[in-house]
Homo-oligomer: A and B are copies of this chain.
């Protein structure tokens, strides 16, 4: 990585938590200047404007979540364990946050949905990835016969995303991890209502 790219990456890494905590409108370029120690020009060299930086920072925050998810889901083959990995991802957002400020998708969706199309689009994309993961996992379970055939994958994914993102919001508001934990506990129990108890690793190869 060239020196310039290194600087660029460093800016992103330092900007990400700031945007995630204060929001797009609540963050000024000067905040980034102070955090990075660079000058204004130095930052604008890498990002044409505040928007471009915010987008990159969002991407970075999301990449931290993706990486964490990759680890959590590694080796998980069963429907249940894969869906549980997703739950643990969100629970870990509260318990051992990869970025300050909670879930970037949640934060960005809430701030940007009516005001900032570009950011909104990004958040939507990530959310869609997660929903897609759930939908595909459930579908595959159905195909494999581990999941009750009349299970609605869309219903499961909507519920999970809602309960997990909502759990993050409530836990952050109360500063109490129990809320997300209870949501996860419920979802875990919920899995049993449509996943066969006999499911085992060999099912999914």
Residues of A within 8 A of B (CB): 21-26, 100-102, 106-107, 109-111, 113-115, 120, 123-124, 127, 152, 154-155, 158-159, 161-167, 169-170, 172-174, 178-180, 182-183, 185-186, 190
**Of the residues B110, B114, B152, B183, contact of A159 by C-beta under 8 Å:** B183
The 6 A-B residue pairs whose C-beta atoms are closest, nearest first, are: A166-B166, A162-B166, A25-B26, A158-B182, A162-B167, A25-B25
**Of the residues B114, B123, B154, B180, contact of A101 by C-beta under 8 Å:** B114
User: Which residues of the partner chain B approach A178 to less than 8 Å between Cβ atoms?
Assistant: 154, 158
The reply to whether B113 and A155 form a contact with Cβ atoms under 8 Å apart is no
Q: CA–CA, A183 to B159, complex, Å?
A: 5
**Of the residues B100, B110, B179, contact of A169 by C-beta under 8 Å:** B110
Q: CA–CA, A120 to B102, complex, Å?
A: 15
**Of the residues B111, B166, B172, contact of A163 by C-beta under 8 Å:** B166
CB distance from A127 to the nearest CB of B (A): 6
Q: CA–CA, A167 to B120, complex, Å?
A: 17
CB distance from A111 to the nearest CB of B (A): 6
**Of the residues B123, B169, B174, contact of A106 by C-beta under 8 Å:** B169
10 contacts between A and B (CB under 8 A): A102-B110, A109-B169, A110-B110, A110-B111, A123-B173, A127-B170, A155-B182, A161-B166, A162-B163, A165-B166
